[in-house]
């Protein structure tokens, strides 16, 4: 989009007037600078080179037009000279040639940046982009509207997909939370029941231990009573023997026989009374104690292992472990667990507890589902 166009041509020729008319029609805001020169004759070569040098040195134009009207081959010969062709090739400014009519070709046409058929065509080429600006702007506007509409449609589609995904995620999380709560509740109830059973069994074991101890105590009492009976019988035998010894000399033969009869009866009575085997009873008591200890210890060990298993299962359902799988607990300002958004309103402060740490948030919008 050149702002200034340079023209190397004769100031009195029709070519310059055609360029001015064409530029004014297509882009009237573009400035035109003329570098006057002869376009035929012996002096034309030097003037054309001087004009090209001036334009290239000043650098005041965006594009340079080298033009002249139609004529014979001799009239156009200045544009076939080697010096002119080489100077055009060294130009730092874009050069458009428009020499002669459409059927005329010169060496200058082949070294320029663009060859136009006529001076008018050269001017049109220089400013043709300006004429295309309105249509290009309209095309750009249509394309921009289309791109924006596509972007908005894609955004709306993604937003709808995100809404559906958000609803599905919320539904899944709610169902998962319900399942977790149900599992935790059932396991907690089961653990409480089993703990109660364990406590009951421990209490039963304690009662069994107390009963066995009572039985052992009663056995000891009975053994002591049997020992006392044996002592009493022995004392009576000793007393009778003493009486026999004391009265042996004084009593007669009949009395002696009577005493012997009584002694015989006492001996028979003594034989009928079974003397307790204290060593055997002691061993039996010790065996019973060992058996009781072994049974109680084994039962306690079994109950202890079962209790440990129940404790492990209970710890497996710990809320912290559930939260480590990605869940969180939300409580309100009073520390109550939030289970339903119906109890919330905008501006409420919530505490979100994660597996590691917690965060305080505030409700901005409540959406009931």
**What's the DSSP call for residue 112?**
S
Q: Output the pLDDT for position 130.
A: 56
Q: Output the pLDDT for position 271.
A: 64
Tens digit of each residue's pLDDT (9 = 90 or more) over 240-294? 667 656 655 554 566 567 767 876 776 776 666 555 566 777 787 788 878 877 8
Highest mean pLDDT among 75-84, 180-189, 336-345: 75-84
The three-class DSSP label of residue 98 is strand
**Could you give the dihedral angle defined by the CA atoms of residues 235, 238, 240 and 241, in that order, rounded to the nearest 10 degrees?**
180
Tens digit of each residue's pLDDT (9 = 90 or more) over 207-233? 766 776 777 677 677 767 656 666 776
Rounded to an integer, the average pLDDT of 20-27 is 88
In the block, residue with structure tokens 């026989």: 257
- pLDDT at residue 354 is higher than 80: yes
Q: What percent of the chain shows pLDDT beyond 70?
A: 82
Sign for the CA dihedral angle at 68, 72, 78, 81 comes to positive
Residue 205 pLDDT grade (very low, low, confident, very high; cuts 50, 70, 90): low
Tens digit of each residue's pLDDT (9 = 90 or more) over 66-123? 998 877 888 788 888 999 999 999 999 999 998 888 788 888 889 988 888 889 899 8
CA atoms within 13 A on the CB side of 284: 11
Q: Go through 312-321 and write b for each residue having 16 or more CB atoms within 10 A of its CB, e for each that does not.
A: eebeebeeee
Q: Output the pLDDT for position 233.
A: 65
Q: Output the pLDDT for position 50.
A: 92
Rounded to an integer, the average pLDDT of 316-342 is 80
Residues 116 and 66: their CA atoms lie apart, in Å, by 10
Residue 168 pLDDT grade (very low, low, confident, very high; cuts 50, 70, 90): confident
Q: Output the pLDDT for position 255.
A: 57
Q: Output the pLDDT for position 34.
A: 93
- pLDDT at residue 298 is higher than 70: yes
Residue 53 pLDDT grade (very low, low, confident, very high; cuts 50, 70, 90): very high
Residues 117 and 120: their CA atoms lie apart, in Å, by 8
Mean pLDDT of the chain: 80
Q: Output the pLDDT for position 137.
A: 67
- pLDDT at residue 51 is higher than 80: yes
Q: Output the pLDDT for position 209.
A: 65
∠ Cα 6 7 9 (to 5°) = 155
Candidate from 11-20, 47-56, 202-211 with smallest mean pLDDT: 202-211
Rounded to an integer, the average pLDDT of 143-170 is 85
**What's the DSSP call for residue 32?**
E
Q: In terms of Cα–Cα distance, which of 205, 200, 203, 193 is closest to 299? A: 205
């Amino acid at each position: 989009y050149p702002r200034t166009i340079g023209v190397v041509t004769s100031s009195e020729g029709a070519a310059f007037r055609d360029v001015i008319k064409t530029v004014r029609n297509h882009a009237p805001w573009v400035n035109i600078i003329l570098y006057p020169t002869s376009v035929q004759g012996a002096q034309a070569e030097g003037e054309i080179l001087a004009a090209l040098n001036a334009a290239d040195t000043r650098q005041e134009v965006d594009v340079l037009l080298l033009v002249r009207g139609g004529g014979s081959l001799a009239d156009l010969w200045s544009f076939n000279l080697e010096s002119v062709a080489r100077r055009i090739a060294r130009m730092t400014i874009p050069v458009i040639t428009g020499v002669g009519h459409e059927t005329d070709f010169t060496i200058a046409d082949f070294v320029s940046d663009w060859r136009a058929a006529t001076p008018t065509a050269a001017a049109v080429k220089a400013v043709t982009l300006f004429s295309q600006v309105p249509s290009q702007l309209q095309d750009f506007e249509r394309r921009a509207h289309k791109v924006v509409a596509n972007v908005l449609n894609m955004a709306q589609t993604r937003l709808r997909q995100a809404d559906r995904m958000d609803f599905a995620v919320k539904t899944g999380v709610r169902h998962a939370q319900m399942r977790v709560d149900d599992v935790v509740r059932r396991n907690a109830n089961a653990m409480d029941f089993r703990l109660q059973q364990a406590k009951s069994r421990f209490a039963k074991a304690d009662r069994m231990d107390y009963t066995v101890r009572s039985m052992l105590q009663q056995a000891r009492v009975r053994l002591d009573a049997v020992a006392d009976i044996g002592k009493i019988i022995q004392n009576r035998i000793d007393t009778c023997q003493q009486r026999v010894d004391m009265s042996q000399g004084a009593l007669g033969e009949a009395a002696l026989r009577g005493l012997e009869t009584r002694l015989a009866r006492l001996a028979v009575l003594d034989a009928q009374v079974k003397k307790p085997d204290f060593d055997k009873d002691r061993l039996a008591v010790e065996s019973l104690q060992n058996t009781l200890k072994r049974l109680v210890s084994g039962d306690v060990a079994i109950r202890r292992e079962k209790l440990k298993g129940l404790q492990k299962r209970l710890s497996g359902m710990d809320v912290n472990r559930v939260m480590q799988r990605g869940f969180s607990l939300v409580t309100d300002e009073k520390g109550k667990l939030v289970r339903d958004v119906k109890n919330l309103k905008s501006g409420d402060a919530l505490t979100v507890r994660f597996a590691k740490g917690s965060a305080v948030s505030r409700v901005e919008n409540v959406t009931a589902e």
